Chain A
Amino acid sequence: MQGFFEWFQVGWDKIWGWMPALMESTAVTLELTAASVSTAVVLGVFLALGKINKNGVIRRLSAAYIFFFRGTPLMLQLYFVYYTLPDILHKLFDGSSLEFIATGPLSMQSRFFAAFLAFSLNIAAYLAEIIRAAIQSIPKGQMEAARSLGLTYGQGMRLIVIPQAYRRMMPPVCNEFVMVLKDTSLVAIIALMDLTFQTKQIAALRSSELVYIPAMIIYLILSGVFTLIFNKLEKKLAAHE
Chain B
Amino acid sequence: MVMVQTEDLCKSFGELHVLRDVSVTVQQGEVICIIGPSGAGKSTFLRSLNQLETINSGKIFIEEQLLLHRENNATIARAGKDDFKSLLLQMGMVFQSFNLFPHKTVLENITLAPQQVKNTPKAQANELAGVLLEKVGLAEKAGEYPSRLSGGQQQRVAIARALAMEPKIMLFDEPTSALDPELVGDVLAVMKQLAAEGMTMLVVSHEMGFAREVADKVLFMADGIVAEEGPPEVLFTNPQNPRTRQFLNSVLPQ
Contacts and interface: CB of A to CB of B under 8 A. Distances in A.
B95 interface: yes
A145 B95 CA distance: 8
A219 to B, nearest CB: 34
A148 B162 contact: yes
A142 B98 CA distance: 9
Contact of B101 (A145, A147, A150): A145
Kindly state the interface size class of chain B when it binds its partner. Answer: 20 to 34
B101 A151 contact: no
A161 to B, nearest CB: 10
B102 A164 contact: yes
A223 to B, nearest CB: 29
Interface stretch (B22-30, B34-42, B110-118): B110-118
Contacts of B162: 148-149
Interface stretch (B84-92, B196-204, B245-253): B84-92
Nearest to B89: A150
B103 A164 contact: yes
A147 B117 CA distance: 11
A142 B109 CA distance: 12
A55 B207 CA distance: 41
A150 B165 CA distance: 8
A145 B103 contact: no
B50 A148 contact: yes
A164 B95 CA distance: 19
B117 A144 contact: no
Interface string B162-180: 1001000000000000000
B52 A159 contact: no
B203 to A, nearest CB: 15
Nearest to A138: B102
Contacts of B113: 146, 149-151
B161 interface: yes
A155 B165 CA distance: 16
B103 A148 contact: no
Contacts of A240: 102-104, 145-147
Interface in A124-156: 139, 141-142, 144-151, 155
B88 A150 contact: yes
A124 B112 CA distance: 31
Contact of A151 (B92, B93, B95, B117): B117
Instruction: From B88, B112, B162, name the one whose CB has the most chain A CB atoms within 10 angstroms.
Output: B112
Nearest to A142: B99
A163 B103 contact: yes
A13 interface: no
A7 B113 CA distance: 70
Contact of A141 (B51, B92, B95, B161): B95
Nearest to B97: A141
Given A141-B99, A144-B52, A149 B147 contact: no
Contacts of A147: 51-52
A160 interface: yes
Nearest to A140: B99
A241 interface: yes
B99 A144 contact: yes
Interface string A13-44: 00000000000000000000000000000000
Contact of A159 (B93, B95, B97, B112): B112
B116 A155 contact: yes
Interface in B95-149: 95, 97, 99-104, 112-113, 116-118, 145-147
Contact of A241 (B102, B118, B161): B102
Given A144-B99, A241-B102, A150 B147 contact: no
Contacts of B101: 142, 145-146, 160, 164
A145 B118 CA distance: 16
Contacts of B93: 145, 148
A151 B101 CA distance: 13
16 contacts: A139-B97, A139-B99, A142-B99, A144-B99, A145-B95, A145-B100, A147-B52, A148-B52, A149-B112, A150-B88, A150-B118, A159-B116, A163-B103, A164-B103, A240-B103, A240-B104
Interface of A: 139, 141-142, 144-151, 155, 159-160, 163-164, 240-241
Given A149-B113, A164-B101, 10 more contacts: A141-B97, A141-B99, A147-B51, A148-B52, A149-B165, A150-B118, A151-B116, A240-B102, A240-B147, A241-B102
